[in-house]
Structures are given as structure tokens and as C-alpha cells.
Amino acid sequence: LSAQVQDLARIELAARFVEKRRDDYVREHGSYDPSTGFTEFPGSGEEYVGELEEIIDGIRKLDPATAQVQDTPEKVGRFGHHPEPAIDFCIEVEALEGHLFDAKHGIGKPGHEPRRIDDEFRRRVSSAMDFIVGGDQIAIAAKATLRSISAQVQDV
């Protein structure tokens, strides 16, 4: 695949990651009011959901053709997905989550064996667990997902 197609796939992956976090938040904290037809949230939850939607839209509007950052190993973050550390971490967690799902359900690429929970996967989980997320709310949510992945890997 061309670098631009790969960039577009990464952009969509990042947008889907944020969408999943938004949907999880809505399911956990939202309550549907049939009289108004709206979902209501406690505190500033509505503002938070709105911010996530703006982030999703912003991610999808990114144009890899005009990006200044070169997609080279020395320019991307420690996980090799994106130059911004928090986004790089979030994409890695999403990839690990997908790998774990595939392994649990015996899914593999066409013509290949199903994915497994092997030493390399455990190393990637361990490396991601060492990442310090700081104050980025999406990265904090990704860290919680990573903790769940880590616990599931220990059970395998």
C-alpha cells in the first residue's frame, strides 16, 4: 500500500478509537429522556461528548498529503504509529485490543494462521504499560483499556 493510503487508514483508526470512547461514555453515563428525545448527561458530560465529536471530525479532516511530518521510523513515536506520543499510544492500544480479539476468536489474515497471544504480543503490552499518559483524556481512557488487556493476557 502507498504511504498515503496507510496514513488514511491510520487516520480512520484514530477516529474510530475516539468514537468507541465516545460511545462507551454515552452508554455508561447518558440517560435517554423520551419527552425531549435527547440523551442527557450529568455535570459537563454533554460538553465532553461534544468535544469528542469535534475531535472525531477534526481527525477525519486531516489530509496526509499536506502533512509536514514524514512517516519515517525516526519521526514516529515509540510504538511506530504516529509522531504525537499520546496518539501513538492510543493507536497501539487499539491495535493490541484488535489482536487480542482476533486471538480469542481464532481469527487470522486470509491464508495465515489465527493470531495468538505470544511473547511478542506480551512484550508489546508490557511496553505500552510503561507509557506514562499525562493529562490527555483519550490516552487515560486507552490506559484503562490497556490494563484490561494486560489482565486478560495474564489469564491466558
Measure Cα distances from 96 to 55, 85, 124, 134, 149 in Å.
22, 16, 8, 20, 8
Under a CB-based contact definition with an 8 Å cutoff, are residues 156 and 121 in contact?
Answer: no
Q: What is the pLDDT at residue 63?
A: 73
pLDDT at 75 over 90: no
Residue 83 has pLDDT above 70, yes or no: yes
The one-letter code for the residue type at 102 is: D
- Average pLDDT rounded to a whole number, residues 124-143: 92
pLDDT confidence of residue 12: 87
Residue 63, phi-psi category: left (phi > 0), alpha (psi -120 to 50), beta (remainder): beta
pLDDT recorded at residue 145: 96
CB 71, CB 3: distance < 8 Å = yes
Q: Are 133 and 139 in contact (CB under 8 A)?
A: yes
Look at residue 11 and tell me whether its pLDDT is greater than 80.
yes
pLDDT at residue 69 in the model: 47
